[in-house]
Amino acid sequence: MRAVGVVLVLLASLLSPAAAGATGPVTAKATATATGPVTGPATSPATPEGARHEVTYDRYSLSVDGERVLLWSGEFHYFRLPSQELWRDVLEKIRAAGFNGVSLYFHWGYHSPAPGSYDFTGVRDVDLLLRTADELGLYVVARPGPYINAETSGGGFPAWLKTVAGRARSSDPGYTAAYRDWLDHLNPIIARHQVTRGGSVIAYNVENEYAVNVDAAYMEQLQQQARADGIDVPIAHNNCCNGDLANWSSGRGAVQIPGVDDYPVGFDCRAPDTWGQSEGVTRRLRDDGPVYAAEYQAGAIDLHDAGYGACRELTGPDFMKVFYKSNAIGSGATMFGYYMAYGGTSWGWLPQPNDVYTSYDYGAAITESRQLTAKYDEFKRQGYFATTVAPLTKTDPAPAPVPADPAVFAQARSNPDTGTQFVLVRHPDRRSTADVATELDWSTPDGRYRVPVRVNGRDAKVLVAGYDLGGQRLVWSSSEILTHVGVSGRDVAVLYGRDGERGSTVLRYSSAPTVRVLDGAVRASYADGDLRLDYTHSGLARVLVSGGGRPPLVLLLGTDETAARFWRLDTDQGPVLVRGTALARSAAVVGDRLVLRADTDRAGEVEVFAPVRRLGVGGRTVHVRRTPSGSLLGALPGPEPVRLPGLTDWRHRAEPPGAGETGWVTADRTTTASPIKPKALPVLYSDEYGFHQGSVWYRGRFTATGAERTISLNAITGRRGVYLVWLDGRYLGSAAGGTESDAEPVNPDPGRGDFAVPEGLLVAGRRATLTVLVENMGHNDDWTADDTRFKQPRGLFGAVVRGSTAPISWQVRGSRPNDGERGPMNAGGLHGERAGWHLPGGTGWGRPPSAAPPGVSWYRTAFRLDLPRGHDVSLGLRFDDTTQRSHRVLIFVNGWNVGQYLGGASPQRDFVLPAGVLAEHNALTFAVIATERLPGGPGPVRLVTLGNHRTGGGR
């Protein structure tokens, strides 16, 4: 398999225009320079001859086999999408947006249910993930932690690590032994997918924002182990704090490529128009390596429950234009990791509860339900440019042309070898919404010009001068470049500007060329070798330029919107352009036919610029005609409508408090590895007894005196968690769980609840049973690397029966360590979860009562899907209950815990049901936890369609 991949890679590079000596897009050929690329670590000696590729870097960029690479990558969390086929879907969408890379965290806790036990199968098959990225032509920055943060439970640490002695994220022996074992299992998988061995892993990111309480020996040991495990690509790190605090650029533990994370507009989505002061320009941390924007904000967590729509607005196209372009020109970075390209779902017990709820949509360019947004279009505009215009891989700061009006700010970089100039224009205050039109006095490589520019509102442009665009010479343009390809001896270029704004483009010829305006209103003039085109951006204008001593050029002048309808796809005959479909996934030239995989969301045109005469989409031949632009034009059908079944015929099953006799463990420990000590002994922390996920039941038995007045409890659940209390089967009530205590107790009373003992309930001399259900909403992260957050307990923290000194004997029962293919973080410790009620099948279900009592009740229904074939339909489950009742619902689809509905406690009402988890026949099961009587059960819910595309088959 791998050998075939290598042959294809070699073939592709032989066929690439760069190898043939022409200047071509994508494959930026590094020109030999005085500085010369610094050679990275040696390639693996075990690699067969011919498969070796070399990854090197210098102060400008990474290079592969001496060819410079601008790494334009987006972050993707495979663990937030439990379906191998959907990994491919999302990675195809990421690739189609113009990304040439993905940044991948690996989640230790997701793979390891217990010390020494690892699962790399099914939805945990990261070997397949890396193979998929490679097949799609995506470079990978592998980010194995061991600590990853990522708003996931424990920041990626397995919860069992909370009981291991020794500070996490340090060189302490206890922690070291634990993480070494994990990395010794993971590193070899990553290693065999490195570029140096014919795969696509191009860099390896150790640790994550390791900035406070640092231990240099640990950083050094992580890198030594990576090398020992066969990692030979450059090692990087992501600093949290704009390069401040520990950034690992020098000294013990330093990495080769220290990068910087930057979230310049932060995480408060409540006022999405409000941008703070942050410049968001990535700092250079080493002179001998490229500038690396390791995590650059591409969405936001919803810290204040504004909903992800607001986060998508906060980080929308205006923000992307202004900040991404300012950063590219301000910093000269050539390595980018946009966080997130696709956020996904923190299904099961994946959320880190203090910062997120189930959805990790992130307001990203691709929504949780895998739909493409306006942000996706902006990524495409910028990503196509960044991966097309090769001189961007090597630039130095350059004198900027002076705007006639100081209300426009200009900043420039240029490529020292080609002379190509890149000029950023925007408002000096990036938040300004003024509309300013002015001129630049621009000394380009091809002469001095007055270039009209306009900045209307929150906008930024990167204008290019002195660029060999295929076989053409671009002198300058006030339009931006989307991309260009060479097709059958012609150049096809797409330029764009905002709808209604004027644009001008100047191209150089040795004699007057013939200009034909095929579409739109474009004025052409020729003088002294310069062909000047003037136009107003509107729709899609088309100009055919021929003669003048150069190959013919089809110039397509679009708006932001019409430019975004183009797709650039690589084939072994070079890149081709497709226009009109909602998505184009892949293309292949087979003889005289273009075989296209594309999605449509409505009926409409499809146009291709490719060296072919015929077109096939999704296995069907499309009737096409040749256009004056030299393209083929045809029509494609839209999707068929989706009909969804109603959710009816609910069945019910009660889970009485403390039900089930097996699985209880005596809780009598008197010590804990956590720096947070309990209020009273024994230690009741659920992790100490091997119960790490979801709810935990406690049973405390004591001999009553009859004088008991109050039960005082403390429980730590994580944010939005609750606990419920019964005494001798009588419900006493519930309380909100705490989020944390402290090593020196400044917060000694977390999650306190006081419950009055009903008069006459307890009889002197009789055994009494206190039963408590404590939710565990997920584990804290370890950002501060000092154990005080990460090793926060879950479960009961203290229990006192006031009015009695009788000893309480405790038992605890929680989750099983693993739930089959659904893994260690799917099921918690409800009796129903332990008994498999969340799985399809089984008996014992009856008619629902008119109201559910406080406590745990299970509901179930089945539904059959009859979705149109050859379509990609994304479904969700919508909670229509608007009463703000405080019940919570664990949602299981065919056994998979797809999230937790939190009544009035979180803004999330739609839950995405991943296509890979759905089948034709489906079981939908709810575990409802109600803190009060719940008339009518969990309330109205229904299936909703979140997206519907005809996919053209192939998936």
Binding site for ligand IPT (CB under 6 A): 148-151, 208-209, 240, 261, 263, 295, 301
Q: Which two three-digit tokens encode residue 220?
A: 């050094």
Residue 179 or 467: the one with the smaller Cβ distance to ligand IPT is 179
Residue 266 CB, nearest approach to ligand IPT (Å): 8
Q: CA-based angle 60:61:64, to the nearest 5? A: 140
How many C-alpha atoms does 105 have within 13 Å on its Cβ side? Answer: 32
SS3 category, 658: coil
Residue 364 or 474: the one with the smaller Cβ distance to ligand IPT is 364
Residue 190 CB, nearest approach to ligand IPT (Å): 18
Residue 98 CB, nearest approach to ligand IPT (Å): 23
Gap between the Cα atoms of 937 and 933, Å rounded? 9
Residue 533 CB, nearest approach to ligand IPT (Å): 44
**What b-and-e string marks burial along 466-505, b requiring 16 or more CB atoms within 10 Å of the CB?**
bbebbbbbbbbbbbbbbbbbbbeebbbbbbbbbeebebbb
Residue 186 or 462: the one with the smaller Cβ distance to ligand IPT is 186
Residue 205 or 906: the one with the smaller Cβ distance to ligand IPT is 205
Give the pairing of strands 550-559 and 490-497.
parallel
The DSSP secondary-structure symbol of 187 reads H
How many C-alpha atoms does 617 have within 13 Å on its Cβ side? Answer: 26
Residue 790 CB, nearest approach to ligand IPT (Å): 14
Residue 208 CB, nearest approach to ligand IPT (Å): 5
Residue 784 or 882: the one with the smaller Cβ distance to ligand IPT is 784
Work out the angle between the directed axes of helices 84-96 and 126-135 (0-180°, nearest 10). 30
Residue 237 or 692: the one with the smaller Cβ distance to ligand IPT is 237
Residue 674 CB, nearest approach to ligand IPT (Å): 23
Gap between the Cα atoms of 323 and 280, Å rounded? 7
Residue 355 or 708: the one with the smaller Cβ distance to ligand IPT is 355
Residue 155 or 513: the one with the smaller Cβ distance to ligand IPT is 155
Residue 306 or 891: the one with the smaller Cβ distance to ligand IPT is 306
CB atoms within 10 A of CB 702: 19
What is the arrangement of strands in the sheet containing 795-802, beginning at the earlier edge strand? 752-756, 710-716, 795-802
292 — phi, psi (to 5°)? -120, 110
- How many helices and strands (H and E) does the chain possess? 12, 56
Residue 75 CB, nearest approach to ligand IPT (Å): 9
**What b-and-e string marks burial along 54-84, b requiring 16 or more CB atoms within 10 Å of the CB?**
bbbbbbbbbbbeebbbbbbbbbbbbbbbbbb
Residue 409: name the closest of 417, 418, 400 by CA: 400
Residue 719 CB, nearest approach to ligand IPT (Å): 16
Residue 150 or 724: the one with the smaller Cβ distance to ligand IPT is 150
How far CA 252 is from CA of 168, 219, 223, 547, 569, in Å, comes to 19, 8, 11, 61, 44
Residue 215 or 261: the one with the smaller Cβ distance to ligand IPT is 261
Q: Which two three-digit tokens encode residue 922?
A: 């489906």
SS3 category, 938: coil
DSSP string, 385-396: HHHH-GGGGS-E
CB 28 within 8 A of CB 393: yes
CB 393 within 8 A of CB 68: yes
Residue 58 CB, nearest approach to ligand IPT (Å): 26
Residue 203 CB, nearest approach to ligand IPT (Å): 16
Residue 178 CB, nearest approach to ligand IPT (Å): 20
